[in-house]
């Protein structure tokens, strides 16, 4: 059966490089899983693994297959309803139209546009020169193709991806102007935040360095709670979290980023942060967060161990077949517009 993208599309990709952490879980995965559980009658939900994006920076290629499969298990364990027909789960490279459209979009993208991307600039500052690939430079164009092939309107991404989303809108409008209506332009970041509730723009921060987001590129790992951490390991990291020397618990990203981060984590995991506001003892808040995170990890890890790999494989085969049809339809429109097809 041909998948027809009649309903608006909500789409996001979650990279499979290293272990996922609760920043990825709370910030990126949970919003789309919630949508898939509560709004699937009104929307198509696309959650894919951007495997081609995985080696824009150097990785261990021997582990990529495992990492992809593990990501998919995490989706299932987080409660993504795999049995629902309007939830599509796929691997980017299994839909070759992503690569094809990227090339076409590349030819309408300015060098300067890509050079200005702050994520690119941050990454090249961290990497040695010979490890900066053209793929890394090109990363946002592939991301635009990921979104535009499916006409996605809503794209829940972290704050660090906002610029890539803006580029996606720009390139879509540019081609629509030149060739007529080829693409659905995704909503701007502000509207995305409205749609997903304002927490969506939030980012979970590194526990040791709350000025930075929790990120797998952070060296020590002490400020990161991995989904594979034991409750005891996570508890230690939380009890050692960097806070501030002010005297009471308050929400304030500016002056109290560490404490505010803990309040956010507690709230997103279903705890009650408000009872700690105004308290003088940070230790009580930390203890509550550690307990809540510990319970969460225990439940999550049990669910992860119970995931049925066969169910995932069947879902992938189904979704990838349907997504190839949708993506190829859109690609053909573009190929015709640019003169590659009669
Ligand atoms: N760049 C995203 C990230 O690192 C992952 C991603 C790739 C993505 N393609 C996408 C997210 C398309 C949303 C839509 O978080």
Percent of the chain with pLDDT over 90: 77
Cα of 166 vs centre of ligand 1, distance in Å, is: 13
| Residue range 118-133: mean pLDDT, rounded | 91
At 61-110, the pLDDT tens digits run 999 999 999 999 999 999 999 999 999 999 999 999 999 999 999 999 99
What is the position in ligand 1's atom list of the atom closest to the CA of 152?
Answer: 14
Give the CA distances from residue 5 to residues 80, 90, 99, 287, in Å, rounded to whole numbers and listed in that order.
Answer: 20, 16, 21, 46
- Kindly indicate the confidence band of residue 5, based on its pLDDT and cuts at 50, 70 and 90: low
**Of 60, 46, 27, 64, the residue nearest 225 (C-alpha):** 27
**Of 174, 98, 168, 102, the residue nearest 134 (C-alpha):** 102
pLDDT number for residue 2: 43
pLDDT number for residue 4: 57
| Residue range 283-295: mean pLDDT, rounded | 96
pLDDT number for residue 1: 38
At 152-198, the pLDDT tens digits run 999 987 778 999 999 999 999 999 999 999 999 999 999 998 888 86
pLDDT number for residue 196: 85
Please state the pTM of the whole predicted model.
0.92
What is the position in ligand 1's atom list of the atom closest to the CA of 158?
Answer: 15
List residues near ligand 1 (CB under 6 A). 11-13, 15, 50, 53, 143, 146-147, 155, 157, 161
- Kindly indicate the confidence band of residue 136, based on its pLDDT and cuts at 50, 70 and 90: very high
What is the position in ligand 1's atom list of the atom closest to the CA of 15?
Answer: 5
Q: Where do we find the tokens 């230790």?
A: 283
Nearest C-alpha to atom 5 of ligand 1 is from which residue?
A: 13
Element spanning 170, H or E: helix 162-179
- Kindly indicate the confidence band of residue 132, based on its pLDDT and cuts at 50, 70 and 90: very high
Cα of 15 vs centre of ligand 1, distance in Å, is: 7
| Residue range 303-310: mean pLDDT, rounded | 97
pLDDT number for residue 245: 81
End-to-end alpha-carbon separation of the chain, Å?
27
Nearest C-alpha to atom 9 of ligand 1 is from which residue?
A: 143
Q: Who's near 227: CB < 8 A, 6+ residues apart?
A: 19, 20, 21, 22, 25, 74, 297, 300, 301, 304
Summary mean pLDDT of the chain = 92
Query: Which of 2-6, 46-50, 204-208 is predicted least confidently?
Result: 2-6
At 226-274, the pLDDT tens digits run 999 999 999 999 999 998 888 789 888 888 999 999 999 999 999 999 9
**Of 268, 102, 116, the residue nearest 199 (C-alpha):** 268
9-13: strand order across its sheet: 9-13, 44-49, 87-91
pLDDT number for residue 261: 94
Cα torsion 254, 260, 262, 266: sign = negative
- Kindly indicate the confidence band of residue 199, based on its pLDDT and cuts at 50, 70 and 90: low
Q: Are 300 and 79 a contacting pair, CB within 8 Å?
A: no
At 12-60, the pLDDT tens digits run 999 886 689 999 899 889 989 999 999 999 999 999 999 999 999 999 9
pLDDT number for residue 28: 84
């Amino acid at each position: 059966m041909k998948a027809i993208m009649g309903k608006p599309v909500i789409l996001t990709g979650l990279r499979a490089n290293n272990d996922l952490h609760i920043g990825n879980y709370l910030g990126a995965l949970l919003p789309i899983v919630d949508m898939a559980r509560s709004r699937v009658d009104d929307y198509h939900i696309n959650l894919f693994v951007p495997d081609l994006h995985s080696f824009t920076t150097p990785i261990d290629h021997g582990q990529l297959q495992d990492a992809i499969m593990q990501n998919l298990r995490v989706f299932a364990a987080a409660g993504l309803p795999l049995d629902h027909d309007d939830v599509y789960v796929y691997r980017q490279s299994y839909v070759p139209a992503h690569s094809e459209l990227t090339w076409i979009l590349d030819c309408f993208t300015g060098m300067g546009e890509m050079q200005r991307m702050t994520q690119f600039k941050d990454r090249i500052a961290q990497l040695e020169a010979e490890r900066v690939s053209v793929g890394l430079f090109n990363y946002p164009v592939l991301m635009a193709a990921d979104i535009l092939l499916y006409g996605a309107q809503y794209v829940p991404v972290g704050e660090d991806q906002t610029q890539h989303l803006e580029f996606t809108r720009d390139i879509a409008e540019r081609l629509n102007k030149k060739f007529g209506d080829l693409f659905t332009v995704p909503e701007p970041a502000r509207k995305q935040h409205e749609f997903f509730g304002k927490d969506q723009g939030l980012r979970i921060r590194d526990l040791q360095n709350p000025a930075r987001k929790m990120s797998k590129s952070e060296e020590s790992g002490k400020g990161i709670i991995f989904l594979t951490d034991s409750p005891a390991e996570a508890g230690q990291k939380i009890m050692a979290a960097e806070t501030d020397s002010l005297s009471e618990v308050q929400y304030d990203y500016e002056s109290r980023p560490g404490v505010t981060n803990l309040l956010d984590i507690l709230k997103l995991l279903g705890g009650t942060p408000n009872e700690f506001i105004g308290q003088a003892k940070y230790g009580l808040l930390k203890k509550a967060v550690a307990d809540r995170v510990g319970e969460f990890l225990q439940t999550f890890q049990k669910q992860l161990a119970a995931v049925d790999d066969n169910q995932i494989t069947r879902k992938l085969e189904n979704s990838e077949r349907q997504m190839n049809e949708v993506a190829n339809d859109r690609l053909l429109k573009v190929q015709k517009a640019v003169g590659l097809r009669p």
